[in-house]
Chains A and B, each alone.
Chain A
Amino acid sequence: MSKPEFVYVIYIASTAEKVFKALTDERMSEQYWVGNRVVSDWKIGAPFALKLKREEKDVTGKVLEFDPPRRLAYSFRAAHAGMEAEPPSRVTFELEPQKDQVKLTIVHDKFEPGSKAFESVSRGWPLVLSSLKSYLETGKVLHAPWYETGNAQQGAA
């Protein structure tokens, strides 16, 4: 049986530099990532954290690749909602400028078969990346009602 992986492509009317900045900036991520914040000093091997607004335990990892504005990768280990026993997975972003667009490809892989984190992030990424696109194109973020009500089960990470 093949290992599960999540792959998503989205086109954003922006520059690669702005998309890369949004992916690595704590304040910007808080805007589009439903209140969660990416925190790192973005050196290869440095700690990475996704500070979750609605959970006590953060997602943690290490920076694996940092090649602005083309590639970014970090390991990703969730410690909430029964996912703490799973080994870290890996998130890779690839940015390709295309005319006045950026093609953003995210691959989230290295999950174990049956991974709960895989199910969770597969539901979460489409909203986070849809919100990132809206944020960069219109300045507005997407507010899904289940975040407002505190029920984050359907959401990211």
Chain B
Amino acid sequence: MRKPEFVYVTYIETTPEKLWEALTSSEFSKRYWFNTEVKSEWKIGSPFALVMDGTTTDVGEILEFDRPRRLSYTFHHVLSEAARKERPTKVVFVLEPHGKLVKLTLTHEDFEDGSVILDGISKGWPAILAGLKTLLESGTALAIPPVALGIEGFQ
């Protein structure tokens, strides 16, 4: 059986440098990532955290930082007891320029069988990446209501 993973591809009219900035700037991430700040010193091995409205929701460690091509970090959801018991998963962003576009491929992998967070991240990433695309292309932040995602515990 194939291991569970989540893969999402989107095309954004921007430059790899701008997209990289959007993925690694806490000021920028707040605008498209449900008011979540991405926090790290962005060195290989340094800590990574997602902080939503002041609450740390996910932690990890920087695995790859190859600006503006490849970014990866481990990802460990810490808001619920059940999620904390799972081993950290892995998030990889690959940025490929195609003319005026950047192809962004997100792979979220290394889930345990029966992972309690797979459903939530599968619903969350399309909304986050839609907001990212809109913000880079039009300068407008999408206001997707969290409750619309249908993620248990995320209102």
Contact = CB atoms under 8 A, between A and B. Distances in A.
- 10 nearest A-B pairs in the assembled complex, by CB-CB distance: A145-B99, A11-B130, A126-B9, A130-B11, A98-B148, A9-B126, A138-B138, A130-B10, A99-B145, A127-B11
Given A13-B134, A130-B12, A133-B130, A143 B101 contact: yes
Contacts of A130: 10-12, 133
B38 to A, nearest CB: 20
B98 A145 contact: yes
A140 B13 contact: yes
B152 to A, nearest CB: 17
A11 B133 CA distance: 10
For this complex, into which size category does the number of interface residues on chain A fall?
20 to 34
Nearest to B12: A130
Contacts of B131: 11
A144 B97 CA distance: 10
Contacts of A13: 134, 140, 142
Nearest to A7: B122
Interface string A97-122: 01111010000000000000000000
Contacts of B8: 8, 126
Given A137-B137, A142-B11, 7 more contacts: A9-B126, A13-B140, A99-B143, A99-B145, A101-B144, A101-B148, A140-B13
Interface string B77-117: 00000000000000000000011110000000000000000
